[in-house]
């Protein structure tokens, strides 16, 4: 399968701590995207990292990509209760399809 | 509020009913998508429209029939559904500069229609 495999499946932290989620995939990609989904809502795009990039930042988010290991990580710094959501990595394959990983369920306790 | 609007938000239907899900966006996006999402699972791609033409059908059963009447609207017609079709149906859209070029852009999602089949 081309989809991302995410680790951990669930993560519970205290407000103010950092949260790290990892994603691995199997085939070549054009880019890799991360999305957030709050309960009962649609997905929200967080960040896109291209295959020729190694690291990207957006506010409290930091994404890394290692194409040699076919892996990516999402770091959320100084987490807030509002960050509680499911996070999906989505490798974007050469055919143009976005294939979502199984997701990490993040719980940030106040 | 999302920029992709889906109606209805909830739908309950029997297995013999015919209903339609609607999706609308006014961002000028020329690629539109239908996804199916079961509880605690990732979204699964069903259909992709590019410039109002169906470009990808992920072997979806014929009881699901997509339609793209214009560049802003996407419908999903439902007929003779099964209980296992109960799920959250998500619509998304993204930029595409021409029908021939695959453009790897972020997708914008609606909040979905939660469908229950009795």
Residue B101 pLDDT = 65
Instruction: Express each pLDDT in A34-83 by its tens digit.
Output: 999 999 899 999 999 999 999 999 999 999 999 999 999 999 999 999 99
- For a pLDDT cut of 90, what percent of chain A falls above it? 81
Angular region, A93: left φ>0, alpha ψ -120 to 50, beta rest = beta
Q: Which of A31, A42, A103 lies nearest to residue B109, judging by beta carbons? A: A42
Section B6-22 average pLDDT? 96
Q: How far apart are CA A36 and CA A70, in angstroms?
A: 21
Confidence of residue B100 (pLDDT cuts 50, 70, 90): low
Residue A1 pLDDT = 44
Instruction: Note whether B111 contacts A41, CB cutoff 8 Å.
Output: yes
Instruction: Express each pLDDT in B31-73 by its tens digit.
Output: 999 999 999 999 999 999 999 999 989 999 999 999 999 999 9
Confidence of residue B96 (pLDDT cuts 50, 70, 90): confident
Closest chain A residue by Cα to residue B111 = A42
Residue A98 pLDDT = 86
Q: How far apart are CA B22 and CA B113, in angstroms?
A: 9
> For residues B80 and B24, is the Cβ–Cβ distance under 8 A?
no
Per DSSP bridges, beta strands B64-70 and B73-79 are antiparallel
Per DSSP bridges, beta strands B113-117 and B10-13 are parallel
- A44/chain B closest Cα distance in angstroms: 7
Q: Which of A30, A44, A45 lies nearest to residue B104, judging by beta carbons? A: A30
Angular region, A31: left φ>0, alpha ψ -120 to 50, beta rest = beta
DSSP A10-56: EEEEETTS-EEEEEE-SS-EEEEEEEEE-TTS-EEEEEEEETT-SEE
Sheet holding A85-93, edge to edge: A10-14, A104-109, A85-93, A29-37, A43-50
Mean pLDDT of chain B: 93
> For residues A52 and A68, is the Cβ–Cβ distance under 8 A?
no
Nearest residue to B60 via CA among B34, B42, B40, B38:
B34
Q: Does pLDDT of A21 surpass 80? A: yes
């Amino acid at each position: 399968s081309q989809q991302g495999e995410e680790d951990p499946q669930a993560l519970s932290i205290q407000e103010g701590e950092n949260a790290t989620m990892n994603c691995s995939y199997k085939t070549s990609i054009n880019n890799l995207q991360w999305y957030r989904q709050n309960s009962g809502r649609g997905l929200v795009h967080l960040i896109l990292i291209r295959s020729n990039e190694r690291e990207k930042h957006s506010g409290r988010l930091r994404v890394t990509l290692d194409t040699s290991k076919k892996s990516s990580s999402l770091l959320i710094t100084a987490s807030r209760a509002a960050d509680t959501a499911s996070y999906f990595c989505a490798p974007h394959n050469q055919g143009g399809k976005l294939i979502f990983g199984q997701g990490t369920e993040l719980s940030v306790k106040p | 509020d999302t920029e992709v609007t889906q109606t209805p938000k909830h739908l309950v239907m029997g297995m013999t009913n015919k209903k339609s899900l609607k999706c609308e966006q006014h961002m000028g996006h020329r690629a539109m998508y239908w996804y199916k999402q079961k509880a605690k699972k990732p979204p699964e791609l069903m259909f992709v429209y590019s410039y109002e033409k169906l470009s990808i059908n992920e072997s979806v059963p014929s009881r699901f029939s997509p339609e793209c009447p214009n560049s802003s609207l996407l419908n999903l017609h439902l007929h003779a559904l099964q209980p296992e079709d109960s799920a959250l149906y998500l619509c998304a859209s993204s930029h595409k500069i021409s029908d021939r070029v695959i453009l790897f852009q972020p997708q914008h999602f609606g909040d979905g229609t939660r469908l229950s089949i009795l």
